[in-house]
Copies of this chain bind each other. A is one copy, B any other.
Amino acid sequence: MIMKTYINPPKESWNELLSRPAISSKELVPAVTEIMETVKSQGDKALRAYAQKFDGFSSEKLEVTDLEFNQAFESIDGDLKLALQQAAANIERFHMDQLPKVVRTETMPGVNCWQKGVPINKIGLYIPGGTAPLFSTVLMLAIPAQIAQCPDILICTPANNEGKINPAILYAAKLCGVSQVYKIGGAQAIATMAYGTESIPRVDKIFGPGNQYVTTAKQLAASIGIAIDLPAGPSEVMVIADDETPAAFAAADLLSQAEHGTDSQVILLTQNEDKLREIESETLKQLNSLPRKDIAAKALENSRFICLSNYEQCIGFMNTYAPEHLILSVKNPTDWANRVTQAGSVFLGNYTPESAGDYASGTNHTLPTNGYAKAYSGVNLDSYLKKITFQQISPDGLKAIGKSIEIMAAAEKLEGHKNDVSIRLTAINKKS
């Protein structure tokens, strides 16, 4: 029995059950700071040295060439291409519908205010490489950047020891219209995007997942004023099951999260103890057939299978935990969904597996972990825009609103602010 089960745990124990494992990367800060500073001061030279040291290849040119793109295209399986195209089309549709309209309000006669979404100029995406190349993340991060019409989008991703990048990553990049791809991995990639080098421009906002070095580098980049997509934490899922939930489906949902990493978090929540036991045994059964079963088993050791005594308790527990992924594998998923106040992405019903959202349904898979769903949204079209406000006031509008401004400015003891209006009102009154 590797999972921990809790049947009607007393309220006093909830804090413990709702907690996440403490994550701290403080010990990495000195090493990552050194990498950041080296890239800042030595630029391309440092990048080549790190490529040699960490990735094991040497190359004068870090940017992927047209030839390499073409070779990648030829080496990819046709079915995978079609799958990526279908996923890309769905992601595009959903994010296109998120494009904000200009908000225009005449707050008083002659006082016109509006708010416009304007693309962030320079976007940098970090895509992890290694044994499991996350080409799906290319789609998730580059497609909304294109829809937002961000003018400059670049990707940094590590190459293997032959200096090659996984072809699916390059195919996905081209599919999204991104042609600036650099063979840079780890903290040095984040440093490149934060500071720029002779051949690679710095960016305004950095997106993308990564290991502890990458996330530490992103934190350091954020502290010097580069925007980042989201604070990082291990991936997690909460599955809510009732008496009719197919146990095999719930088990597959839990395991698909558990296989992400040994620090993944997996929670089952139900009001039915028999169902809990059924899902527990089904999870153990499916676990054995997974190639990544060692990772998943380790993650399951931190998992929690919880039975609570009523619906309101479940709703409270679910919202307080604020899961990254929330699977509502229940008879009346819409009723539950209407009660969700804190979660990253919500999956309704028995035929909506988490992996649909991870790859192809259209929603974004870059989501708030670690309880950040309490205050953060997952990546969405807004992540690529600034909302700039504008206002234009007519002389009559200023006459209508001016006195209030003068009174408030004077009460805040800012006479210069008051004069900014008074000088105009005097001019208006002189003319009329």
| Chain A residues at the B interface, C-beta cutoff of 8 Å | 77, 79-80, 82-84, 86-87, 89-90, 93-94, 97-98, 100, 103-105, 107-108, 111, 113, 115, 118-121, 131-136, 168, 204-205, 219, 223, 225-227, 231, 246, 248-249, 252-253, 255-260, 286, 289-292, 296, 333, 337, 340-364, 368, 370-378, 380, 382, 385-395, 397-398, 401, 403-405, 407-409, 411-421, 423-424, 427-428
Contact = CB atoms under 8 A, between A and B. Distances in A.
A388 B377 contact: yes
B292 A415 contact: yes
A100 to B, nearest CB: 8
A364 B341 CA distance: 26
Given A290-B415, A345-B391, 13 more contacts: A86-B401, A89-B107, A90-B107, A120-B375, A256-B416, A258-B416, A286-B419, A348-B391, A359-B409, A360-B404, A363-B389, A368-B386, A377-B387
A329 B79 CA distance: 58
Contact of A380 (B134, B231, B360, B389): B389
A85 to B, nearest CB: 9
A253 to B, nearest CB: 6
A360 B414 contact: no
A257 to B, nearest CB: 8
A131 B89 CA distance: 57
Contacts of A424: 249, 252, 350-351, 353
B256 A419 contact: yes
